[in-house]
Amino acid sequence: MAIDSDVAVLGAGIVGVSTALHLQARGRSVVLVDRRDPGEETSHGNAGLIERSSVIPYAFPRNVLTILRIALNRSSDVRYDWRFLPRVAPWLFQYWRNSAPQRLAEAARDMLPLIERSVSEHRPLLTEAGATHLARESGWLEICRRPQDLAASARGAAQLKQYRLDHDVLDAARLRELEPSLSPSIAGAVHWRDPLSVSSPGAVTKAYAELFLRRGGRFVRADARALKPSGAGWGLPSGEGEVRAKHAVIALGAWSTDCAAPLGYRFPLAVKRGYHMHFRPAGNASLGRPMVSAYGGFVLSPMLDGIRMTTGVEMAPRDAAPSPVQVDRAEAIARTLFPLGERVQDTPWMGVRPCLPDMKPVIGPAGRHPGLWFNFGHAHHGFTLGPASGRLLAEMLTGEAPAIDPAPYRADRF
């Protein structure tokens, strides 16, 4: 028996679920398709930040000393598989070129309209989905171990004045008032107040998916790679019958090219792998908001399952076996900053961030196939930008005037 709808959204992470909700709100019937339950992949394991303050994209380092440090492959913030370097080198070169000051400024300008709407687009969904109890208004802390680090972070924050971001520079005493369990050896922190954080990004994504179902949407398990043109639209086999829709949206994150490539679309999509591990706080220690250690490249964030430590970047094949190295390195540093107790899980969780070398996602029509749309490549900001990019895609698909210019995210820019 066929399952007919106006739109099939492929991918039930935060981007796909948000896209489905915005299409629903504009009167379209939607089927959400994934091989797993909603929120089970990258949307499950991130740091839970809705990052309004990340107005400058994560760029390839341009400082020679930083590059040399990373090249030694001994740090916790960036790690790479030597055997993978020849395959990923062309992508890294493009990433490095796009991280030059002028190009980075252009990328920041292009991403700003989405970043500015990150919190405001999440808020109504959190409310309607009954998930506000999972959200915190407390911002996050940029931890600085040494006075010179704090001075540099304060200067960096001041340079972002044009973006009207609310922040405080905290010395050691003020930081201890805010978070008394942090190590007294920390020199201070920049407290970014605009972002929200959540105590379970996976639970938030599932709550949004449940809202989609309550509104009359349908979720179907299927392999999105089987998507093919069918009649005047698109078809996809599933165990419940063929999914048929006039429009199909590929929102599969790091797996988007698995679906797009058989249709003739080539994107320079790479993945930055990352890990998380939960810890019980030692003794009576507590943490009221996420803290980011730039030196260690990790985040400690209070979650429903404990204190979640999320790691930085691992460059390795998407589907290669996980490695414990980065978690172990980050944990050693984290224990000097916050009193972590024992690990909650036996093994770390691993996820993959879908990254394009110009640091912008693809959002919009495919071009060569009527009714085919893309919404992927959000890098470190998938959870942050899911609702904002979902709205933009829905506006374009339904013919509504977009709230922001979609040109920077067009599919044919590569």
Encode pLDDT of 187-197 as tens digits: 999 999 999 99
Q: What is the mean pLDDT of residues 106-110?
A: 98
Residue 294 has pLDDT above 90, yes or no: no
Please give the mean pLDDT across all residues of the chain: 96
Q: What is the mean pLDDT of residues 39-46?
A: 93
pLDDT in tens, 193-249: 999 999 999 999 999 999 999 999 999 999 999 999 998 899 999 999 999 999 999
Share of the chain above pLDDT 90, in %: 98
pLDDT band of residue 296 (cuts 50, 70, 90) is confident
- In terms of DSSP H, where are the helices of 129-248? 147-158, 172-178, 201-214
Report the C-alpha gap between 192 and 190 in whole angstroms. 6
Residue 295 has pLDDT above 90, yes or no: no
pLDDT in tens, 243-261: 999 999 999 999 999 999 9
Task: Indicate the domain borders of the chain.
Answer: 3-44+202-267+357-413
Residue (of 204, 191, 201, 384) closest to 291 by Cα position: 191
Question: What distance lies between CA 148 and its chain's CA centroid?
Answer: 30
Q: What is the pLDDT of residue 174?
A: 97
Q: What is the pLDDT of residue 1?
A: 78
Q: What is the CATH number of domain 3-44+202-267+357-413?
A: 3.50.50.60
Q: What is the pTM of this model?
A: 0.96
Q: What is the pLDDT of residue 110?
A: 98
Report the C-alpha gap between 397 and 310 in whole angstroms. 35
User: What's the token pair of residue 50?
Assistant: 């809705």
228 DSSP β-pair partners: 235
Q: What is the mean pLDDT of residues 337-341?
A: 98
**What are all long-range contacts of 19-22, with beta carbons under 8 Å and residues at least 24 apart?**
19/249, 19/251, 19/375, 19/389, 19/390, 19/393, 19/394, 20/212, 20/217, 20/390, 21/125, 21/208, 21/211, 21/212, 21/215, 21/387, 21/390, 22/387, 22/390, 22/391, 22/393, 22/394, 22/395
pLDDT band of residue 180 (cuts 50, 70, 90) is very high
Sheet holding 49-50, edge to edge: 49-50, 196-198, 135-136
404: left (phi over 0), alpha (psi -120 to 50) or beta: beta
Residue 4 has pLDDT above 90, yes or no: yes
Q: What is the mean pLDDT of residues 92-97?
A: 97
Q: What is the mean pLDDT of residues 270-287?
A: 97
pLDDT in tens, 307-323: 999 999 999 999 999 99
pLDDT band of residue 184 (cuts 50, 70, 90) is very high
